[in-house]
Amino acid sequence: AFLLPLLSPGTLDELFGSPKEPGLLFKGTVSCGVINPVMIFEDIETPGKKVEKFLFQIVDPYHRQEMKDRFTNTRLFLGKSPVFLIGTKLSKKFDHPSFKSSVDVYEIPPLKLEELSTILSSYILPKMISKMKPKYRKAFEPLKDREICDFLIDILKEKQSMKGGYTLEGLEKSVKKLLLLLLSRKEKKITLSEIKKLTPMLQEELGGEKK
């Protein structure tokens, strides 16, 4: 599950945004003050005990007071939280009265390539690049360009598919591999043309297992 801050419940468009206007998901990650988390569950049809335990923790008063966003380390002051179920069949798990009083559930089809590219350029890559040593950041900044992100998603699309959709977890793991590969090659300037030259290697190294 991904736990991220969100200012208020929203529609799918409000969550992911557009090329001109970032969605609440991305605005929320840099906002501070009183915030709600959004729980995003994807591709889980039969959750195990760990997932069920997590679901109950989000409605338990003790755990709710102690929860922090795992990316910003911001303490979460929980109001009624939106839960987005992406490509899942978890709806019945939220029939419990405690859930109904604490969460708003939104069911969303598996993510499309355009939505994944938005997440990659607006959220995943900026987060990873910000954690790099300063001497490497400048060379990797161009990776956040939307055209490069579209190209990377296109490379991954054959091997990242799951039931007609794509997974955030698989995308994040693949991007980590990409950054490590580029670091190992000591690339001084990351451009779309340079990325295209590396396409055969990237296709071989980044795809992971077919679902």
State residue 161's pLDDT score.
47
152 with 88, same domain: the answer is no
128 with 179, same domain: the answer is yes
pTM confidence score:
0.55
> Which of 56-60, 168-172, 175-179, 197-201 bottoms out in mean pLDDT, i.e. has the lowest?
56-60
> Which of 17-31, 84-98, 154-168 bottoms out in mean pLDDT, i.e. has the lowest?
17-31
Residues 71 and 46 sit within 8 Å (Cβ to Cβ): no
Domain range for residue 98? 2-108
Q: How far apart are CA 30 and CA 201, in angstroms?
A: 34
Q: How confident is the model at residue 115 (pLDDT cuts 50, 70, 90)?
A: confident
Q: Which range has highest mean pLDDT (35-39, 126-130, 156-160, 182-186)?
A: 126-130
Task: For residue 19, give both structure tokens.
Answer: 């090329």
Determine the number of helices (DSSP H) and then strands (DSSP E) in the chain: 12, 6
- Of 34, 16, 37, which is closest to residue 80 (Cα–Cα)? 37
156 with 92, same domain: the answer is no
Residue at 211 is within a domain: no
Q: Tell me how many domains the chain contains.
A: 2
Mean pLDDT of the 104-114 span: 68
200 with 161, same domain: the answer is yes
Q: How far apart are CA 42 and CA 123, in angstroms?
A: 17
Residue at 169 is within a domain: yes
Task: For residue 87, give both structure tokens.
Answer: 């490509």
Residues 5 and 76 sit within 8 Å (Cβ to Cβ): yes
